[in-house]
Structure 1
Amino acid sequence: MKNNCAEVVELRYYCTIKVHRLMCLELKKFIDRISEILPAIESARPRCTSGIQALCTLKIAMDKAKLLIQHCSESSKLFLAITTERIVSRCEKIQKTLVVSLSQIQNMVPLLLAGKISGIARDLKHTKFPLEPAEEEVGKVILVLLRQAIPVSNSVNDLELEAVRLAALTLKITSPSAVLIEKRSIKCLHDKATDTDPKKKILKWLFYLLRKYGEIIGRYQDHDSHMQCDETRADDFGTPEPPKEFKCPITMQVMHDPMIIASGKTFEQFWIERWFNEGNQTCPITHMKLDNLFMTPNSILKELI
């Protein structure tokens, strides 16, 4: 079989997935399930051309899945964000191939094994690979900026800076070391691309943005992480108080699930839900009547916390 099928790629990167984590972990879940029964499939496969081809197709699709997860673990965060549609397309193609090959194999193996294969194929066919809205939005913002083709310049451009700030906060490129790692990831992709590859120009532009605004991002994050440093007091053990913005205005405790309400204020989900469940229709801080009681996750603040 080794002569006909590609060697299985070792998957070591799922713990460090940079972008599209939810989608990659969902894909990995099925790779793990298939891997558990793969030895049984190899032992039970019929000695026929169609059986060997189906198993080869299955293994190749599994390798592609692992390489996709590895790509989302090693690649540039900015590049991953702007290529979201392509990542989704690759994931869906892998999904389809796995379902087809599993469905073919289940007709060639003993009943009990066929039942296990059928269950995996059914679950895989109906699964959805979730995107993280904040990452998807960042990708769109960066793509819009790219299409505006703002001339290269050493002077700060507000549109560029705002887009880079949003991307940095969402993708956690918020320290000098993170900026350096991102630069290296972009350069690695750039060096591997051929001269005729369209992405080479895009990677060069992303590197330009980081080189231009990387220091500003670092200063912004340092300020954000240590805001009110002069105003906060350390306790007896020298532990500084968290920034006020990290605390729920109701309990003054650091938030775990910050939610934005219609007034624009952010609260811990448990406490603002309790406020509304008690019949209140006003903001606990402004005391103004709210137009609605909708809550939206403050994903950027949660990542900062």
Structure 2
Amino acid sequence: METESAEIVEVVETLPNPISFKVHGMMCTELRTFVDRIVKIFPEIEEARPRCSVVIKALCSLNGVIERAKLLLQYCSESSKLYLAITTDAIVSRCRKMKNLFEQCLCQIQGMVPVMLVDEISRIVDDLGAANFVPDKFEEEAGKVVRELLQRGAAALDSMEHTEMKALQTAASRLHITSPKAILIEKRSIKKLLEKASESDQQKKKILKYLLYLLRKYANLIIGSQTDNSSDQNEGAFAVHTHSAYAESHTEYGQYDPQAETLNRAIIPPEEFKCPISSRLMYDPVVIASGQTFERTWIQKWFDDGNDTCPKTEMKLDHLLLTPNVSMKDLITKWCRKYGITIQDPSMQPDELCSLENFFHFHS
């Protein structure tokens, strides 16, 4: 049984960092948190030495679900963004199935362990029952437009090219595949999926090859005015439309997104100005014990949910104090003033607070 425990601990140590999930970040973070909570009490359940065959079988099943959850999380951190988006329904189904299996296994174990463990298992079971794995609206839209493109029958060449450009434009903006680096990473991810695809799965191979073809054919149009200042007016117009569509998509849901406005102006903020958790310009940057800087609202929520590690480095923190990063705040303020960008306090925006709750919250 000791070997089994060691294997379970290894699962936790190799879980992907929450900020590494390429698509379905909120669902994956929620699933990851459940796995982490369950693994922490697994050794104590074993130490209770339940002898009932039903409980022993449930423990084995629980171990198997943890392994499958780990593989799904790893997949969502390494796979192609486009392919993850078009298979959204499958990812949602797998997350919900694992949720139900976790709940079922824990309920079978609950009555055969010490009282203190019963309380903790009960809390996890209650949280599992309340969990609702829902995909991000923008990622879901990206998947929808690409699926519609895949389902489109034969059409005239000119019409098909226009449809392809429009679909890829929408998907790329929603999935943030809008820079040379992002496109390169996406191509490599698709190639890796192709290498791993079995010979019997020809449909998957066909889809992946088509996605790769789209990226190769329209890469310059996706990047658009961010890197290309050529005199091709058609290409320039397409790039501007791409940025505008991104900004409009956020306005449609009542959100003001500084990053969307920045893209619309073809201005890319320095990476160090963005919060590693939200990927947005920081309004109130603070430094934590690991030396990393985050938006105060996001990192405070991370700590409030019981985490004592750095989301970026995964190192355990000596303390949870937040120190204002005055220098970073000054640099961001000057940069925003230069380009006419306004950053609103995320803690004062209802939509942002709702997003935070969906991303981190577990009823305790």
Which TM-score applies when normalising by structure 2? 0.61
1:193 CA drift (Å): 0.5
Matched, 1:72 2:76: yes
Q: Which moved more, 1:155-164 or 1:134-143?
A: 155-164
Moved more, 154-163 or 69-78: 154-163
Q: Distance in 2 between matches of 1:104 and 1:66?
A: 22
Matched, 1:217 2:213: no
Deviation at residue 203 of structure 1 after TM alignment: 0.5
Q: CA RMSD of the aligned region, Å?
A: 3.3
Q: What is the CA distance between 1:97 and its match in structure 2? A: 0.7
The count of corresponding residues between Structure 1 and Structure 2 is: 249
> How far, CA to CA, are the matches of 1:46 and 1:189 in structure 2?
42
CA-CA distance at 1:156 after TM superposition: 7.8
1:176 and 1:155 map into 2 onto residues whose CA distance is 27
Unaligned runs of 5+ in 1: 230-237, 248-252, 258-268, 274-294, 300-305
2:45 pairs with one of 41, 62, 65: 41
- Residue 124 (1) aligns with residue 128 (2): yes
Q: Does 1:31 align with 2:35?
A: yes
Deviations 1:61-119 (A, max 9, x none): 11211211111110000000000000011111111110010000111111221121122
State the 1:14 CA deviation: 2.5
Q: Is 1:136 aligned with 2:148?
A: no
Report if aligned partners of 2:226, 2:266 keep a CA contact under 8 Å in 1: no
Q: Distance in 2 between matches of 1:39 and 1:189?
A: 35
Distance in 2 of aligned mates of 1:150 and 1:5: 55
Matching residue's letter, 1:177: K
CA distance in 2, matches of 1:5, 1:127: 27
Whether contact under 8 Å (2:15, 2:32) holds in the other structure is: no
Displacement, 1:124? 0.3
Percent of aligned pairs with the same amino acid: 46
Q: Which amino acid counterpart does residue 214 of structure 1 have in structure 2?
A: A
Q: 172, 185, 188: which is aligned to 1:184?
A: 188
Instruction: State how 1:59-138 maps to structure 2 within 5 Å.
Output: 59-138=63-142
Structure 1 residue 170 corresponds to structure 2 residue 174: yes
CA distance in 2, matches of 1:175, 1:72: 20
Looking at structure 2, the residues matched to 6 and 144 of structure 1 have their Cα atoms a distance apart, in angstroms, of: 46
- Match of 2:123, as an amino acid? G
Gaps (5+ residues) in structure 2? 229-242, 244-262, 268-333, 356-364
Query: Structure 2: how far apart are the matches of 1:38 and 1:155?
Result: 57
Shift of 1:154: 10
Match of 1:286 in 2: none
Q: Which structure has the larger Rg over C-alpha atoms?
A: 1
Q: Distance in 2 between matches of 1:163 and 1:6?
A: 47
- CA distance in 1 between counterparts of 2:87 and 2:129 reads 24
- Give 1:23 deviation, angstroms: 0.6
- Confirm whether residue 15 of structure 1 aligns to residue 19 of structure 2: yes
- Structure 1 residue 54: Cα displacement: 0.8
CA contact under 8 A between 1:82 and 1:142: conserved in structure 2? yes
* Cα pair distance change 1:146/1:72, threshold 3 Å: same
Q: 2:200 corresponds to which residue?
A: 196
Asked if structure 1 preserves the Cα contact closer than 8 Å seen for 2:225 and 2:266, the reply is no
The Cα of 1:194 is off from its aligned counterpart by 1.3
1:228–1:202 Cα change, 3 Å: closer
Separation in 1, partners of 2:27, 2:68: 14
Q: Is the 8 A contact 2:5 2:42 kept in 1?
A: no
User: 2 CA distance for matches of 1:53 and 1:152?
Assistant: 58
CA contact (8 A) 1:135 1:170 kept: yes
What amino acid is the match of 2:211?
L
Q: Secondary structure at the match of 1:157?
A: helix
Judged with a 3 Å threshold, the aligned counterparts in structure 2 of structure 1 residues 136 and 242 are, in CA distance, closer, same or farther, namely: farther
Residues 209-240 of structure 1, C-alpha deviations (whole Å, 9 max, x = no match): 111111221224446548478xxxxxxxx958
Are the structure 2 counterparts of residues 189 and 126 from structure 1 closer, same or farther at C-alpha, using a change threshold of 3 Å?
same
